[in-house]
Amino acid sequence: MPTADARLPRLLRTVGRHSSGILLAAQLLVVLAYPALEGSVVGRSVAGVFQLLVLLAAVVAVRRTPALTWVSLLLGVPAVVLTVAEAIRPETDGVVLASAVFHAPFYFFVSYALIRYLFHDDKVTPDELFATGAAFTVVAWGFAYLYAAAQVLWPGAFVSYTSPTGAAPLDWFELLFLSFTTMTSVGLSDVYPVLGHARSLVMVEQVAGVFYVALVVARLVGLSARRRD
């Protein structure tokens, strides 16, 4: 029977082989759990822990690509600290803005690293299929933090049915919902930008969503079809 010391390297190798799947599962778990956790300080703290798991999974995914590890640490470590701070003080503009300053580039860097991982050869592995979904959701996450920064810098940049005048800042989960509906181009969001800077960010995300499907997804479909032939 393998000892604990022998099982640990095997576990690490398993995690390494499926890091993209772990990242995708962690993000979807946060999406499903967040509505039940955001109503209290304890809930926000638990949501912060979930986001820590997402960040840790992202770092694992980045380390498996040619992307530089020090960049992920430079952005990821402050993002981890600010995740906890934002869970405790979500109403403080300075904390929200600082969190967005580190989270947005960190998520975009992770998406860049995942896309490089997808393009590094002409083979399609199960982990690369998970990486396709993970990179897509990571980009949406990054834009949600950009939106959070935008409504701190330009109050009233976004409105929704909960804040039709834009007098109160929207919850981060509402901004994440807007980001996913924009990225997927389904147009189902009841959250929408009303100021010019916010609309500019939304337009950039729309372009990113179209290019992602056109370049990344189409390439994987083509490689899969070629392998069957």
Q: Which domain holds residue 52?
A: 4-228
- Confirm if 153 and 195 have CB atoms less than 8 A apart: no
How many domains is the chain built from? 1
- Give the model's confidence band at 223: pLDDT under 50 very low, under 70 low, under 90 confident, else very high: low
Q: How far apart are CA 151 and CA 168, in angstroms?
A: 10
Q: Quick one: pLDDT band at residue 1, thresholds 50, 70, 90?
A: very low
pLDDT at 87 over 80: no
Share of the chain above pLDDT 90, in %: 23
Tell me the pLDDT tens digit for each residue of 112-147. 888 887 777 677 777 777 888 888 898 999 999 999
